Amino acid sequence: MSENSDSKERIIQLRELLNYHNYRYYVLSEPEISDFEYDMLMKELVVLEELHPELYDENSPSQRVGNDINKEFKQVTHKYPMLSLSNTYSLEELRDFEIRNKKIVDEKYSYACELKYDGVSISISYKKGMFIRAVTRGDGEKGDDVTHNVKTIRSIPLKLHGNDFPPEFEIRGEILLPHEGFKRMNDERIDAGEVPFANPRNAASGTLKMQNSALVAKRPLDCFFYGLSGENLPFTSHYKNLNKCKEWGFKISPHIRLCKSIDEVFGFIRYWEEERINLPFDIDGIVIKIDSYEHQKSLGFTAKSPRWATAFKFKAEQAETKLISVDFQVGRTGAVTPVANLTPVQLAGTTVKRASLHNADQIALHDIRINDSVFIEKGGEIIPKVVGVNKSKRPTDSQPFEYIDNCPECGTRLVRYEGEAKHYCPNESGCPPQIKGKLIHFVSRKAMDIGLADATVNQLYEQGLLKNIADFYLLKKEQLIGLDRFAEKSAENLVASIENSKKVPFQSVLYALGIRYVGETVAKVLAKEFRSIEKLRNASVEQLTGVHEIGERIAHSIVEFFSSDENAALVNRLTEFGLQMEAEQTIPQGDILAGKSVIISGVFKKYSREEIKQLIEENGGKNVSSISSKTDFLVAGENIGPSKLEKANIIGLSIISEDEFLNMIGLL
């Protein structure tokens, strides 16, 4: 296989992997890997995408931030997008951050340094000094309206002090649980026989998404604010504006510091790397922002983060404890994950009893054995993992660890596919956790968008009402009433949601089928190319690999899926139930841009960025994300990124306005 093909396969794999971990982290609050591991995967993806601009995908995880949207809350579009921060674990990379910025801003500037709170981001709107709305970060463009819950947090002002605040503005902050309140909550849960929260961040996130604001009010949430957005702000300095916010009644950390040089920033980082253990709440790093708004504007943004800010993350803490036993968990795809059961040990403010062992290779690499004294680490202070063994403490009668041969859930012989690190249970239709995983995936927001919690899906499965994904369309209100979480109204709502899912477009149905390696992006490509389930199910490996972005592994997986009699019958049932098994027909606009590579930048007046991109595709052109010698022209809106403009001018790239573009394709 060529180097380009290998890169394409790896990019697709990384996109699917990162999308999966985004969902585990932001939606389920059940992350499986550490922040550090996630960041390394993201960095690898960004580098590969930069090397292969022809594989650009606007839906790539590198083009967006994570998602904490919950269907039970109303979604609100952010007036000012809540982008994520780039991050680093290295002071050398932080020095590179300054070098890059000084190439654009050659004036002297200061840095505002802030603690990076380990909580839940929130954006609150104020009008005429009154609290209007609170919205979670969501996917950066939209978030959940959690106004009623946030109003219960006593450190957040509902009416501002003074009268010198802007008529309208948004303020960003981090909602968190201080250690004392977190311990009190967990003590109460243990006394009540309930499972304690894993850590303060998860507890804060779960509390914010509760449906009963009266219960939220009983929990000791707090909030620190760190950013102001809007017109007519008091100062052009971020630091001065935050201090002004104190006068209006906002809780601003006393630990913010204005640093005159990058060396002062390093000193601030080193101080808090040691001192953070004495804080009454969790932090996982330091946020560094260029203070001047004018300089921030000059530096601009990348697709997912501001160039004028970054986060330095502290290295993970480690602890040593004893490995008692190993459990094996089976996921939706049949992947088996070994999990270590440990003698409880304190690590990063929580008691750790279990940690990931990843796969058989990692166990062999570290020669991990039962009764070993092992080192565990919380990368990003979220998910513990075993990272090594203290062999000096190994018992003399120690025996090498033997990985299981059969599925712990259904007893089927495990397999290991070529190029895969994990073992898999191949019993897709008879292994309970795989069945439940497929059911949960099917109803998810990006699939069939049926409003069901994981626990409810599990209940319906345990009650024998669901054996496969087609069974959702047989559910009746009468079967649901009387089950946990179901009264008459909730049963009616679920049946209506299932019926409404029949309108979900073909590409989402294709994603919902859960075909291995067919994530959201691949499903979109397949739907666009083959247009119907019939054409796709009859496609050969050669036809599939002839499609841009479809490699041999994906192609073989698709052919294998449709060659199964059981899957064929399942698809037939879904078709009979009325799901969308064909893509909507689109009317070609023309081919005036055929063979042209076009890049867009800036804000447009007549059409949105997405609409401009769609017009480019409908007229035969190709959207690209970065300027190169192969780019034909740039469509420029207002506030075009300075780096793109500079590069376009350097290589002599043709730059046209929105009106010129619309005239070119016959819309003006």
**Alpha-carbon distance 76 to 98, whole Å?**
35
Which of these ranges, 362-376, 463-477, 538-552, has the smallest mean pLDDT?
A: 538-552
Q: Is residue 329 part of a domain?
A: yes
Is the confidence at residue 71, as pLDDT, over 50? no
pLDDT higher than threshold 70 for residue 455: yes
Q: So what's the pLDDT on residue 65? A: 42
Give me the DSSP letters along 277-300: GGSSS-EEEEEEEESBHHHHHHH-
Q: Look up the CATH number of the domain holding residue 625.
A: 3.40.50.10190
CB atoms within 10 A of CB 97: 21
Lowest-confidence pick of 76-90, 200-214, 518-532, 565-579: 200-214
Residue 657 lies in a domain: yes
User: Do 16 and 150 fall into the same domain?
Assistant: no
> Cβ atoms within 10 A of the Cβ of 533, count?
24
Q: Are residues 294 and 364 in the same domain?
A: no
- Asked if residue 381 has pLDDT above 50, the reply is no
- How big is the chain, counted in residues? 668
User: In this predicted model, what pLDDT tens digit does every residue of 274-289 receive, in sequence order?
Assistant: 888 889 898 989 999 9
> Are residues 560 and 575 in contact, defined by beta-carbon separation less than 8 angstroms?
no
Residue 382 has pLDDT above 60, yes or no: no
Rounded alpha-carbon distances, angstroms, from residue 331 to 310, 326, 358, 385, 510 = 35, 16, 13, 18, 20
Cα(first)–Cα(last) distance of the chain, in Å? Answer: 47
On whether both 289 and 188 belong to a single domain, the answer is yes
Residue 641: pLDDT over 80: no
> What's the rounded Cα separation, in Å, for the pair 236 and 350?
41
Q: Which residue has the higher pLDDT, 60 or 257?
A: 257
Give me the sign of the Cα torsion angle 447, 453, 456, 461.
Answer: positive
Express each pLDDT in 523-551 by its tens digit: 888 998 899 999 999 999 999 988 766 88
- CATH code at 101? 3.30.470.30
Segment 385-439, tens digit of pLDDT: 888 899 999 999 999 999 999 999 999 999 998 777 789 999 988 999 999 999 9
Checking phi first, is residue 375 left (phi over 0); if not, alpha (psi -120 to 50) or beta?
beta
Calculate mean pLDDT across residues 99-117: 93
Please list the active-site residues. 116
User: Per mean pLDDT, which range of 198-207, 252-261, 493-502, 635-644 is the poorest?
Assistant: 635-644
Which of the given ranges, 46-55, 403-412, 641-650, has the highest pLDDT on average?
403-412
Q: What share of the chain is helix, strand, coil (3-state, %, to 5)?
A: 40, 20, 40
Domain endpoint, select from 258, 288, 313: 313
pLDDT higher than threshold 80 for residue 198: no
pLDDT bracket for residue 26 (50, 70, 90) = very low
For the segment 345-360, the average pLDDT, to the nearest whole number, is: 84
HSE of 378, CA atoms in CB hemisphere, 13 A: 21
Same domain assignment for residues 90 and 45? no
> Is-contact 148 124, C-beta < 8 A?
no
Residue 380: the pLDDT is 42
Same domain for 175 and 241? yes
Q: What mean pLDDT is predicted for residues 105-110?
A: 90
DSSP string, 337-392: EEEEEEEEEEETTEEEEEEE---HHHHHHHT--TT-EEEEEEETTTEEEEEEE-GG
Number of domain units in the chain? 5
Report the alpha-carbon distance of residue 296 to residue 595 in Å, rounded.
Answer: 37
Least confident piece of the model among 37-41, 476-480, 511-515: 37-41
Candidates 359, 360, 361, 350; CA nearest to 384 is 350
Q: What CATH number has the domain bearing residue 351?
A: 2.40.50.140
Q: How confident is the model at residue 29 (pLDDT cuts 50, 70, 90)?
A: very low
The confidence score (pLDDT) of residue 2 equals: 59
pLDDT given at position 446: 83
Residue spans of beta strands (DSSP E) within 110-244: 111-117, 120-127, 130-136, 142-144, 168-176, 222-229
Give the C-alpha separation, 552 to 1, whole Å: 10
Residues 323 and 388 in one domain: yes
Does residue 197 have a pLDDT over 90? no
Mean pLDDT of 49-55: 82
**Residue carrying structure tokens 């802007």:** 166
13 and 153 housed in the same domain:
no
Segment 188-213 shows an average pLDDT of 74
- Asked if residue 70 has pLDDT above 50, the reply is no
Residue 247 has pLDDT above 80, yes or no: yes
Residue 488 has pLDDT above 60, yes or no: yes
Which amino acid belongs to residue 497? S
CB count in 10 Å sphere of residue 159: 11
What is the predicted pLDDT for the residue at 56? 77
Q: What per-residue confidence (pLDDT) applies to 23?
A: 54
Whether the pLDDT of residue 172 is over 70: the answer is: yes
Q: What is the mean pLDDT of the chain?
A: 86
Query: Are 142 and 281 found together in one domain?
Result: yes
pLDDT in tens, 385-394: 888 899 999 9
Same domain, 371 and 465: no
| pLDDT recorded at residue 532 | 94
**Final residue before a domain boundary, out of 313, 331, 365:** 313
Number of CB atoms found within 10 A of residue 285's CB: 27
Residue 589: pLDDT over 70: no
Last residue of a domain, one of 41, 63, 85: 63
d(CA 7, CA 633) in angstroms, rounded, equals 27
Percent of the chain beyond pLDDT 90?
46
Separation CA 390–CA 611 (nearest Å): 58
167 and 140 belong to one structural domain: yes
In-domain check, residue 95 = yes
In a domain, residue 258? The reply is: yes
pLDDT of residue 397: 92
Give the structural domain span for 31: 3-63
Domain check: are 289 and 384 in the same one? no
In angstroms, the CA 28 to CA 449 distance is: 15
- For position 340, what pLDDT does the model report? 94
What's the confidence (pLDDT) of residue 132?
92
294 and 322 assigned to the same domain: no
- Report the distance separating Cα 202 and Cα 25, nearest Å: 10
Whether residue 495 has pLDDT greater than 60: yes
Question: Strands 120-127 and 168-176, how do they pair?
Answer: antiparallel
Q: With cut-offs at 50, 70 and 90, classify the pLDDT of residue 66.
A: very low
325 exposed, middle or buried (CB, 10 Å; 0-12, 13-18, 19+)?
A: exposed
Give CA–CA dist 288/642, Å, rounded.
Answer: 22
Q: Flag whether pLDDT at 31 surpasses 70.
A: no
